[in-house]
Amino acid sequence: MTETNTRRPLSTFRVTARGEDYRVVRVSGNLFICSRENGSCCCGWDEKGRMPFANELWSDEWERRRIRNRLHLTFTGCLGPCIAGNNALLQLHGRSIWFKDLNDPGLVSAVFDFAERMLDEGKVLPPPPELVDHVYERYGPPPAEEWFELVPSERDGDDGLARLDPVCLMDVDPATAKHTVEFQGRVFAFCAPSCKKQFMADPESYLQAIGG
């Protein structure tokens, strides 16, 4: 890639829930997948002529790319319009990008490639040739107004990153965590043994993903 990489540094903000303060990673977007396993009315039903839309097709690729800290993945019920399924919705950089007729396993990688390129370049881009016939505009254009913050959020300093489980990005207090490991002179805390195990299998890639 010859273009300038404008990837945003990882940052957190504080959110209060149930009377406690938590750190949450500020992501750039969210990918929604219309999944039969989550109540879809048409997507993923091979008896309706659709490719089986197993969650693992998407979750395995998402985990492999280590982009949890930039793009969230959500499995949902019907996104509609059902006639165009299998459907997916990518909300990124303030834009909603709709995908239709995702009935080839190779399109899963193509969607993630497209999303990663936009994440790296920090802007919305035209779809690549392999996705042109699978992108459509469902929403009307937004009003010609500047983006504004609905509610003020309290940004964290660098200390917010120290509380993150490097695998799942949950807020974990290193002082009270049950699962920790020391690596390269730093103590990492994990929400569960499974996250610790994943980290120890490939620590460098997780550190690179969170900018550590």
Domain total of the chain: 2
Q: Are residues 165 and 129 in the same domain?
A: no
Neighbours of 105 (CB within 10 A): 11
Q: Are residues 96 and 165 in the same domain?
A: no
Q: Return left, alpha or beta for 146; rule: phi > 0 is left, psi -120 to 50 is alpha, else beta.
A: beta
* CATH number, domain with residue 43: 3.40.30.10
Provide the domain limits for residue 197: 158-209
Give residue 189's pLDDT band: very low, low, confident or very high (50, 70, 90).
confident
Q: Are residues 64 and 119 in the same domain?
A: yes
Q: Return left, alpha or beta for 115; rule: phi > 0 is left, psi -120 to 50 is alpha, else beta.
A: alpha
Give residue 14's pLDDT band: very low, low, confident or very high (50, 70, 90).
confident
Q: Are residues 84 and 165 in the same domain?
A: no
**Tens of pLDDT, residues 103-131:** 999 999 999 999 999 999 999 999 999 99
Give the residue ranges of DSSP H helices in the chain: 55-64, 106-121, 193-201, 203-209
pLDDT at 49: 87
Give residue 199's pLDDT band: very low, low, confident or very high (50, 70, 90).
confident
Residue 3: partners with Cβ closer than 8 Å, 6 or more residues away: 121
Q: Are residues 121 and 169 in the same domain?
A: no
Q: What are phi and psi of 149, to 5 degrees?
A: -80, 120
